[in-house]
C-alpha cells in the first residue's frame, strides 16, 4: 500500500484515461482496455451534446507508473488512432488524459462503483460498499477484478432483467449454462433465483478466477461451478442457456449454443444492437429455437435482449 508523505513517501501519481465513444464501438474499446491494463474500467452513459459522438458512452481507465513506463499508453493511443482512421467520416471516439494524485491508486477506481438496482428486486453491490436491502431485494455481491459485467452495461442489465422476469417460475430447480460469464454476475443471480445447478464458462482465465471469488462471496459455490471449458466441450442440455456475447460470436457459436438448450428450454442472448436481431433470430430458427420475445434497454435503446424457446 502507498503510505502518505508523513511517513516519508510521496503520494502516488497516476493517469485517468477518459474515452468517449459510440455504443457500437464501446464493447471493442472496453475489451481492448481491459486486456491491455489487466484491470476493470468504468462505463457511464452520457447525454448527447453538440460535438459529442452519437449515443455517447464514457469509459474511464486508470494507468499506474508501471503502465506508463511500459509504453501501454502509447499503444492505447495507437489503437484509438487506428479506430479513427476506420471511422473518419464522423467522430466516433474522443479521448484525453489527466494526472491524478491518489494515496492508493490501485483502489481509487472503486469509488466510482456504487450499488445498482436492476428491475424491481435485484441489486448489484460492489463488495466494498455498504448496502441495507429493502424487504424482498436480492443482493449480488460483486468484485469486478479484471472481468466484465457489473450490471452497469446495458447488455448485462438486460440479461439480469430477463432473469428476474423469468423468476422462480422458470429458474426454480433448473439447470443453467452461462456462456462468457465474466464476473459471474448472471450465474450468481440464477442461483439466487432458485437454479439448482449452474455452469459458468469463460475463455479468459482472469475472468474465471474473478467469477470463482464472486461465487464464494455470494455463498452459491454449492450451486455454481466456473471453468474455462470451451462451449463445444460442454455436455448438455440445460434448461436455461445465457449468452451475453456479441453478434459475431453468437452467430459463430449458434450451433453449439442451440444444441445445449433442452427440449422446452430457454435461451437468452444479449450483447446485440438494434438491427442485429433478425439475423440472430433466423440463425436460431434454423436450429429449432423460436423467438419468444425481443426487448430494448430502457436507457440505452440501441441494445437488445432476445429470448428463445426450444419447442422441439
Mind listing the pLDDT tens digit for each residue in 257-304? 999 999 999 999 998 888 899 999 999 999 999 999 999 877 667 789
- Residue 215, pLDDT > 90, answer yes
Name every residue whose Cβ is closer than 8 Å to that of residue 60 and which is 6 or more positions away in sequence. 16, 17, 18, 19, 41, 42, 44, 109, 112
Same domain, 187 and 214: yes
Same domain, 94 and 106: yes
Task: Report the DSSP pairing between strands 303-310 and 261-273.
Answer: antiparallel
Element (H, E) at 124: strand 122-126
What are the helix (H) ranges across the chain? Answer: 23-37, 65-70, 72-86, 105-108, 154-171, 185-192, 205-217, 247-259, 277-285
Same domain, 255 and 240: yes
159: confidence class by pLDDT, cuts 50, 70, 90: very high
CATH code, domain carrying 47 = 3.30.70.120
Name every residue whose Cβ is closer than 8 Å to that of residue 236 and which is 6 or more positions away in sequence. 177, 259, 260, 261, 262
Same domain, 94 and 133: no
Same domain, 267 and 228: yes
pLDDT of the residue at 97 = 86
What predicted TM-score, i.e. pTM, was given to this entire model? 0.72
CATH code, domain carrying 296 = 3.40.50.150
| Number of compact structural domains in the chain | 2
94: confidence class by pLDDT, cuts 50, 70, 90: confident
Same domain, 28 and 159: no
121: confidence class by pLDDT, cuts 50, 70, 90: very high
8 A C-beta contact, residue 237 and residue 265: yes
Same domain, 274 and 167: yes
pLDDT of the residue at 42 = 79
Q: Which of 52, 82, 110 is the last residue of a domain?
A: 110
pLDDT of the residue at 77 = 87
Same domain, 233 and 123: yes
For 225, the grid coordinates are 461451478
For 34, the grid coordinates are 481491459
Q: Which of 88, 110, 132 is the last residue of a domain?
A: 110
Same domain, 22 and 158: no
Same domain, 36 and 132: no
Q: Which of 76, 110, 144 is the last residue of a domain?
A: 110
Same domain, 140 and 284: yes
Same domain, 97 and 126: no
pLDDT digits (tens, 9 = 90+) for 69-85: 888 888 888 888 887 77
pLDDT digits (tens, 9 = 90+) for 189-198: 999 999 999 9
DSSP state of 153: S
Note down the domain range covering 217. Answer: 113-310
Amino acid at each position: 500500500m502507498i503510505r502518505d508523505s508523513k511517513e516519508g513517501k510521496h503520494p502516488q501519481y497516476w493517469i485517468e484515461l477518459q474515452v468517449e465513444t459510440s455504443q457500437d464501438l464501446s464493447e471493442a474499446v472496453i475489451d481492448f482496455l481491459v486486456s491491455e491494463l489487466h484491470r476493470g474500467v468504468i462505463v457511464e452513459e452520457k447525454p448527447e451534446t453538440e460535438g459529442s459522438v452519437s449515443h455517447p458512452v464514457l469509459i474511464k481507465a486508470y494507468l499506474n507508473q508501471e503502465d506508463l513506463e511500459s509504453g501501454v499508453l502509447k499503444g492505447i493511443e495507437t489503437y484509438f488512432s487506428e479506430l479513427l482512421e476506420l471511422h473518419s467520416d464522423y467522430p466516433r471516439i474522443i479521448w484525453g488524459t489527466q494526472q491524478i494524485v491518489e494515496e492508493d491508486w490501485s483502489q481509487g477506481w472503486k469509488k466510482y462503483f456504487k450499488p445498482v438496482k436492476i428491475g424491481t428486486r435485484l441489486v448489484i453491490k460492489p463488495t466494498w460498499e455498504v448496502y441495507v436491502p429493502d424487504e424482498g431485494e436480492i443482493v449480488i455481491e460483486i468484485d469486478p477484478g479484471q472481468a466484465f459485467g457489473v450490471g452497469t452495461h446495458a447488455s448485462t442489465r438486460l440479461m439480469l432483467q430477463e432473469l428476474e422476469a423469468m423468476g422462480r417460475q422458470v429458474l426454480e430447480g433448473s439447470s443453467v449454462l452461462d456462456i462468457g460469464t465474466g464476473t459471474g454476475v448472471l450465474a450468481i443471480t440464477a442461483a439466487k433465483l432458485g437454479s439448482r445447478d449452474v455452469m459458468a464458462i469463460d475463455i479468459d482465465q482472469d475472468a474465471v478466477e474473478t467469477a470463482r471469488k464472486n461465487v464464494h462471496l455470494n455463498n452459491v459455490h454449492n450451486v455454481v461451478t466456473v471453468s474455462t471449458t470451451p462451449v463445444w466441450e460442454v455436455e448438455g442440455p440445460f434448461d436455461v442457456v445465457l449468452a451475453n456475447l456479441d453478434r459475431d460470436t453468437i452467430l459463430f457459436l449458434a450451433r453449439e449454443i442451440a444444441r445445449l438448450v433442452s427440449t422446452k428450454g430457454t435461451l437468452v442472448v444479449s450483447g446485440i444492437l438494434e438491427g442485429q436481431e433478425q439475423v440472430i433470430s433466423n440463425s436460431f430458427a434454423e436450429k429449432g429455437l423460436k423467438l419468444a420475445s425481443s426487448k430494448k434497454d430502457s436507457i440505452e435503446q440501441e441494445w437488445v435482449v432476445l429470448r428463445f424457446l426450444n419447442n422441439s
